[in-house]
Amino acid sequence: MAAMTELPWQPIYDELGVGVPPLDDRPLGHFVEEHAANRPDAVALQYLDREISYRELNELANRCANGLLALDVARGDVVGIHLPNVPQYVIALVACCKIGCAGSGVSPLLTPAEVAYQIADAGIGVLLSLDGLAASVIARIEEQPACLRHVIVTGAADHIAPSRG
């Protein structure tokens, strides 16, 4: 058996002449802030008919981060993000990066028992969930994990553009 190299894909990259760019160690929140300052009106997210600029994403992430801080979330804490692919997922993840806590994705496809296990296993203190998921999954968890202090619920339609008509 051949010995594993530190980067098993490196021989393929070398053969193809593909370089690996150096990783930037700045957090995600920094890049959102940088884009909000330099390209505030550029589209950061597009969801259905709604476009969210970098300025708006930064403002929403700051509001979310401040809300988490008000719930005593601190650097190193774990925040569960129990959302499908909606703008709130990105907003929550950026907010977590801004305050130094870990955003842990909790799949919307999990059963109540599986969600409870993941919350307990990851030590999730605050969980962000979608209104429908909170009603159908979170509310049906038989024994709430002791670490879970708060559940924040957001609406599925919160970032859908109003109809033009």
pLDDT tens by residue, 7-40: 888 888 889 988 877 778 888 899 999 999 999 9
In a domain, 6, yes or no: no
Does 21 map to a domain? Answer: no
> Who has greater pLDDT, 121 or 28?
121
When divided into structural domains, the chain yields a total of 1
Q: Average pLDDT for residues 138-143, to the nearest whole number?
A: 91
CA distance 83 to 107: 7
In a domain, 132, yes or no: yes
In a domain, 45, yes or no: yes
> How crowded is residue 109: how many other Cβ atoms within 10 Å of its Cβ?
9
Handedness of CA 63, 68, 70, 73 (dihedral sign): negative
pLDDT digit string, tens, across residues 61-109: 999 999 999 999 999 999 999 999 999 999 999 999 999 999 999 999 9
With CA atoms as reference, report the closest residue to 131 among 156, 157, 161.
156
The answer to the question of residue 99 being in a domain is yes
Domain of residue 72 covers 27-154
Answer for the pair 93, 81: CB distance below 8 angstroms, yes or no.
Answer: yes
Which CATH number goes with the domain that contains 48?
3.40.50.980
